[in-house]
Chain A
Amino acid sequence: MFSFIIRRLAVAVPTILALITVSFVLMHAAPGGPFTNERNVPEAVMENIEAKYNLDKPLWQQYLIYVGNVAQGDLGPSFRYKDFTVNELIESSFPRSAYIGAWSFLFVVVFGVGLGVVAALKQNRWPDYTVMTAAMTGVVFPNFVMAPLLVLLFAVTLRWLPAGGWEGGQVEYIVLPIIAMATSYIAQVARITRSSMIETLRSPFIRTARAKGIPRHKIVLRHALKPALIPVVSYLGPAFVGIITGSVIIDQVFSTGGIGQHFVNGAINRDYSLILGVTILVGVLTIVFNAAVDILYTWLDPRVRY
Chain B
Amino acid sequence: MFFSDKHAGMGELADTLAEDAYTEGRSLWRDARRRFMNHRAAVASLVVLALLLLFAAFGQYLSPWDNESIDWASLPNLDEDGLPSLASQHYFGLDPIGRDLYQRTVQGSRISLMVGVLGALTAVVIGTLYGAISGYVGGRTDAIMMRTLEVLSAFPFMFLVIVLMAVFGRNVLLIFVAIGAVSWLNMARIVRGQTLSLKRKEYIEAAMSVGVHPFLIVLRHIVPNVLGVVIVYATLLVPEMILFESFISFLGLGVSEPYTSWGALISEGADAMWTAPWTLIFPMLMLVLTLFCFNFLGDGLRDALDPKDR
Asked if B248 is an interface residue, CB under 8 A from chain A, the answer is no
A26 to B153, CA, bound (A): 15
Q: Which of A145, A187, A303 contacts B280 (CB 8 A)?
A: A145
A-chain residues with CB within 8 Å of residue B39 when the two chains form the complex: 124
Asked if B249 is an interface residue, CB under 8 A from chain A, the answer is no
A230 and B197 in contact, given A195-B302, A238-B189 (Cβ under 8 angstroms): yes
In the complex, the 3 A-B pairs of residues with the closest C-beta atoms, listed nearest first: A234-B193, A303-B200, A267-B158
Smallest CB–CB gap between B271 and chain A, Å?
Answer: 9
A-chain residues with CB within 8 Å of residue B280 when the two chains form the complex: 145
Q: Are B147 and A15 in contact (CB under 8 A)?
A: yes
Smallest CB–CB gap between A204 and chain B, Å?
Answer: 8
Q: Are A301 and B197 in contact (CB under 8 A)?
A: yes
- 16 A-B pairs besides A152-B274, A202-B308, A293-B193 with CB distance below 8 A are A22-B155, A23-B156, A23-B159, A30-B159, A139-B239, A140-B284, A140-B291, A191-B232, A192-B233, A195-B299, A196-B228, A234-B189, A263-B158, A283-B154, A286-B150, A293-B189
A-chain residues with CB within 8 Å of residue B200 when the two chains form the complex: 303-305
Smallest CB–CB gap between A43 and chain B, Å?
Answer: 23
A235 to B240, CA, bound (A): 15
Q: Which of B156, B233, B243, B295 contacts A27 (CB 8 A)?
A: B156
How many A-B residue contacts, CB cutoff 8 Å?
Answer: 155
Asked if B236 is an interface residue, CB under 8 A from chain A, the answer is yes
Chain B 186-226 against A: per-residue CB contact (8 Å), 1 yes, 0 no? 10011011101100100000000000000000000000000
Asked if B10 is an interface residue, CB under 8 A from chain A, the answer is no
What are 12 of the A-B contact pairs (CB < 8 Å)? Answer: A136-B291, A139-B236, A140-B288, A141-B284, A142-B266, A192-B236, A195-B229, A195-B232, A199-B228, A231-B190, A279-B156, A283-B151
A141 to B146, CA, bound (A): 32
A87 to B40, CA, bound (A): 56
Asked if A203 is an interface residue, CB under 8 A from chain B, the answer is yes
A199 to B192, CA, bound (A): 17
B-chain residues with CB within 8 Å of residue A15 when the two chains form the complex: 147, 150-151
Q: Are B236 and A188 in contact (CB under 8 A)?
A: yes
Asked if A53 is an interface residue, CB under 8 A from chain B, the answer is no
B-chain residues with CB within 8 Å of residue A198 when the two chains form the complex: 228
Number of interface residues of A (CB under 8 A): 63
A29 and B166 in contact, given A202-B306, A283-B151, A286-B150 (Cβ under 8 angstroms): yes
B-chain residues with CB within 8 Å of residue A264 when the two chains form the complex: 158
Q: Are A26 and B155 in contact (CB under 8 A)?
A: yes
B-chain residues with CB within 8 Å of residue A293 when the two chains form the complex: 189, 193
Q: Are B166 and A286 in contact (CB under 8 A)?
A: no
Asked if B162 is an interface residue, CB under 8 A from chain A, the answer is yes
A191 and B236 in contact, given A199-B308, A238-B186 (Cβ under 8 angstroms): yes
B239 closest partner in A (C-beta): A139
Asked if B73 is an interface residue, CB under 8 A from chain A, the answer is no
Q: Are B229 and A196 in contact (CB under 8 A)?
A: yes
Q: Are B193 and A306 in contact (CB under 8 A)?
A: no
Chain A 128-160 against B: per-residue CB contact (8 Å), 1 yes, 0 no? 000010001001111011001100100000000
Chain B, range 263-310, C-beta contacts under 8 Å to A: 266-267, 270, 273-274, 280, 284, 287-288, 291-292, 295, 299, 302, 306, 308-309
Chain A CB within 10 A, most for which of B138, B240, B270, B291: B270
Asked if B143 is an interface residue, CB under 8 A from chain A, the answer is yes
Smallest CB–CB gap between A268 and chain B, Å?
Answer: 8
